[in-house]
């Protein structure tokens, strides 16, 4: 049986109190990694995620902080490494959206989304890389989106931030590849997240049918579909994959 063993490794997953990030954290913890659970304000959700990881025998550390804030991002990375002993894996998952057609989009809508999704990815990476360089080992996985590859009406800010993450992934992969650190991105498509189905739950029946007709595998994705890919890219087994974008969309953009 093929299993991924992350025993003795430490992972920080930004935005892991709930949604896709929480599922990624649980999968990495189940593979043996000690995990840092980061979020900005959803402490109750983090409680649930941390309790679940501990109940399953894993180790989870609470590291709240706004990743778009330089001081907070530095503290989140350093606290994780100090308290858990090292830092092998960084998953940049924290993300927000403020959707509007571009002609109605405020500068604040643009700035907020770019700040969390792109500046947050930069800051966490910037503080994690020196630790990984010292260890001569690291895995960075950026959670982008198919919207960063193909765009989507009403999401100019979000698409720009997700495309920016991809450019950054490729640049940093070239900077640190020689030191046994890889940097990759995943680009999920339509993912039904959590109990309410997330973004897909707000669609009308007609919209759902229309979207599903364009997904060759015939279903929306799950957070586990994303977590499986992140787990692999974050593992030692993926050491020769660097600077890549793995699309997880059931064939939507094939």
By CB under 6 A, name the binding residues for ligand NAP. 14-21, 38-42, 66-68, 93-96, 116, 120, 143, 145, 188, 190-191, 193, 198-199
Smaller CB separation from ligand NAP, 42 or 150: 42
Smaller CB separation from ligand NAP, 34 or 97: 97
Residue in this structure with the two tokens 């830092």, named with its chain if needed: 87
**142: Cβ–Cβ under 8 A, 6 or more apart, which residues?**
91, 92, 121, 165, 166, 168, 169, 183, 184, 185, 186
- What strands lie across the sheet with 89-92, from one edge to the other? 60-62, 34-37, 10-13, 89-92, 138-143, 181-188, 245-248
Nearest-approach distance from CB 238 to ligand NAP, in angstroms: 19
Smaller CB separation from ligand NAP, 13 or 137: 13
Nearest-approach distance from CB 151 to ligand NAP, in angstroms: 13
Is 158 an active-site residue? yes
Residue in this structure with the two tokens 């800010």, named with its chain if needed: 157
Smaller CB separation from ligand NAP, 67 or 160: 67
Catalytic residue among 2, 158, 232, 240: 158
Nearest-approach distance from CB 235 to ligand NAP, in angstroms: 20
32 near 7, Cβ under 8 Å? yes
Q: How far apart are CA 244 and CA 232, in angstroms?
A: 13
The torsion angles phi and psi of 89, rounded to 5 degrees, stand at -130, 130
Nearest-approach distance from CB 239 to ligand NAP, in angstroms: 24
What is the set of active-site residues?
158
């Amino acid at each position: 049986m093929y299993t991924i063993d992350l025993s003795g490794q430490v992972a920080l997953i930004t935005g892991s109190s709930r949604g896709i990030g929480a599922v990624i954290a649980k999968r990495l913890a189940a593979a043996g990694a000690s995990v840092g659970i980061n979020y900005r304000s959803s402490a109750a959700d983090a409680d649930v995620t941390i309790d679940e990881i501990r109940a399953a025998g894993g180790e989870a550390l609470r590291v709240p902080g706004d990743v778009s804030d330089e001081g907070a991002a530095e503290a989140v990375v350093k606290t994780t490494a100090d308290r858990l002993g090292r830092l092998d894996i960084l998953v940049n998952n924290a993300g927000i959206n403020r959707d509007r057609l571009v002609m109605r989009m405020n500068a604040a809508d643009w700035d907020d989304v770019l700040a969390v999704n792109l500046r947050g990815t930069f800051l966490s990476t910037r503080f994690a890389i020196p630790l990984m360089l010292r260890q001569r080992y690291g895995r960075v996985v950026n959670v982008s989106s198919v919207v960063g590859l193909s765009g989507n009406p009403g999401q100019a800010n979000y698409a720009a931030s997700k495309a920016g993450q991809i450019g950054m992934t490729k640049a940093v992969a070239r900077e640190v590849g020689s030191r046994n650190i890889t940097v990759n991105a995943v680009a999920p498509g339509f993912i039904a997240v959590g109990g309410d189905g997330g973004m897909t739950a707000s669609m009308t029946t007609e919209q759902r049918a229309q979207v599903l007709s364009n997904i060759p595998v015939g279903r929306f994705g799950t957070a586990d579909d994303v977590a499986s890919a992140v787990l692999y890219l974050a593992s030692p087994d993926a050491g020769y994959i660097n600077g890549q974008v793995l699309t997880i969309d059931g064939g939507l953009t094939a």
